[in-house]
Structure 1
Amino acid sequence: MRLSQPRCKHRLHWSGFAAPPVVLLLALTLPLALPQEAASHTTTAPRAGEPAPRPFGAACRTAVDGSSVTAYCHNPYPETDHVALHVECERWWDIDTDGPRAEAGPAQTVRLTGRCWKEVRSAWVSHRK
Structure 2
Amino acid sequence: MRLSRSLASAAVAVALLLCLPHDASPHARVERPRAEEPELFGAACHSRITGSHVTAYCHNPYPDVDRVRLHIECERWWDVDSDGAPVEAGPAQTVRLDGRCWKEVRSVWVSHQKR
What TM-score do the two structures reach when normalised by structure 2? 0.68
Task: Determine which structure has the larger helix proportion and give its number.
Answer: 2
Which ranges of structure 1 fall in alignment gaps of 5 or more residues?
A: 1-41
What TM-score do the two structures reach when normalised by structure 1? 0.61
Q: Deviations over 1:3-56 (max 9, x none)?
A: xxxxxxxxxxxxxxxxxxxxxxxxxxxxxxxxxxxxxxx6x843xxxx634311
Q: Deviations over 1:52-99 (max 9, x none)?
A: 343110000100000000000000000000000000000000000000
Task: Determine which structure has the larger strand proportion and give its number.
Answer: 2
Find out whether 1:121 has 2:106 as its counterpart.
yes
Q: Which runs of 4+ in 1 moved over 4 A?
A: none
**Structure with the larger RCO, 1 or 2 (CA within 8 Å, 6+ apart):** 2
Find out whether 1:77 has 2:84 as its counterpart.
no
The aligned residue for residue 42 of structure 2 is 57
Larger Rg: 1
Over the matched positions of the two proteins, sequence identity in percent amounts to 67
What is the alpha-carbon root mean square deviation over aligned residues?
2.0
The aligned residue for residue 100 of structure 1 is 85
